[in-house]
């Protein structure tokens, strides 16, 4: 069974991309699905997205800690992969823990 928070995150991502598409159309630009077009870039591109220093990007990529692709001697980074990687590192809020504890207490009372 899929984690309900993952389901919510996917739905929020979908809504955000739909809103971004609407904003682009209102500005007179064409709108392509993020699944069709994935922005790729170099280390500087990854640094701008993550907010990490370029040497940190190189270090994390050599350790396999950040998603990247290598073609020849050049590293490439996918914007979608980097954003997903950042989201995986998010910490739960206290309210999330309270909800989990309450649901566990309710399920234990029924048993």
Q: Is residue 14 part of a domain?
A: yes
Domain of 71, CATH number, reads 1.10.10.10
67 C-beta neighbours (distance < 10 Å), count: 15
pTM of structure: 0.52
pLDDT of residue 48: 94
pLDDT of residue 34: 46
Residues 6+ apart with CB under 8 A from 105: none
Phi, psi of 32 (to 5 degrees): -110, 145
Q: Domains in the chain: how many in total?
A: 2
Cα–Cα dist 54/44, whole Å: 7
Residues 42 and 83 in one domain: yes
Q: Is residue 105 part of a domain?
A: no
pLDDT of residue 79: 92
Q: Is residue 95 part of a domain?
A: no
Q: Is residue 56 part of a domain?
A: yes
Residue-wise pLDDT tens digits, 49-92? 999 999 999 999 999 999 999 999 999 999 999 998 898 887 76
pLDDT of residue 36: 46
- Tokens standing for 102? 């309450």
Residues 77 and 44 in one domain: yes
For 3-111, list the strands marked E by DSSP.
Answer: 40-41, 69-71, 74-78
Mean pLDDT score of the chain: 83
Residue-range definition of the domain harbouring residue 85: 38-89
pLDDT of residue 28: 72
């Amino acid at each position: 069974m899929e984690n309900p928070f993952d389901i919510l995150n996917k739905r929020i991502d979908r809504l955000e991309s739909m809103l971004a598409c609407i904003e682009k159309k209102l500005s007179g630009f064409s709108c392509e699905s993020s699944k069709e077009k994935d922005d790729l870039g170099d280390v500087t591109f990854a640094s701008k997205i993550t907010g990490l220093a370029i040497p940190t990007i190189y270090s994390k990529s050599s350790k396999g800690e950040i998603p990247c692709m290598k073609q020849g001697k050049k590293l490439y980074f996918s914007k979608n992969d980097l954003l997903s990687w950042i989201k995986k590192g998010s910490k739960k809020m206290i309210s999330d823990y309270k909800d989990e504890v309450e649901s566990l207490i309710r399920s234990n009372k029924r048993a």
